[in-house]
Structures are given as C-alpha cells and as structure tokens.
Amino acid sequence: MSSAPRKSFPLRLDPALYAAIERAAAGDLRSVNAEVECLLREALARRGVKLDVPVPARRGRPPKEE
C-alpha cells in the first residue's frame, strides 16, 4: 500500500502561536508538523468536512528479505 506524496508548503506563523503549538506537540509526543496536521483535521471535522483516514507512517525496520 503506497500513499500519495505529501504536499509541502511554507507557512508563516506568529512566534507565540508556534510556541503554543510546539508545547502542545511535546505534550502529545508529536512533531510540530504532525500537531499542525492533527489540529487542522480536528478543525475541519468540526466544520463537517469529511476526509479520508490518513495512512499511518511506516515505522521500524523493513522486514527481512529471505
């Protein structure tokens, strides 16, 4: 199963907002990027926007080939 490539773009934030997101991310054991994505998904869900369930990132070592 392969997911589509992720879209990247520059985002300018107020330093105080970034610091708050950074603290929230640390509390949730996420990166700032993952926290922003989570916050955006939550905000869209509250507005009734339906999104596909995200494909989780593959973690750990790849399986050994025999």
Per-residue pLDDT tens digits for 1-50: 445 678 899 999 999 999 999 999 999 999 999 999 999 999 999 999 99
Of 11 and 66, the one with more pLDDT = 11
* 66 within domain boundaries: no
> CA 52, CA 45: separation in Å to the nearest integer?
11
* Domain extent for 29: 15-46
* 31 within domain boundaries: yes
* 59 within domain boundaries: no
> CA 39, CA 20: separation in Å to the nearest integer?
12
Which DSSP letter does residue 51 get?
Answer: -
Structurally, the chain folds into a number of domains equal to 1
* 26 within domain boundaries: yes
Give this prediction's pTM: 0.72
* 5 within domain boundaries: no
The label of the residue with tokens 């991310």 reads 25
* 54 within domain boundaries: no
Output the pLDDT for position 1: 45
Classify residue 24 as exposed, middle or buried by CB count within 10 Å of its CB (0-12, 13-18, 19+): middle
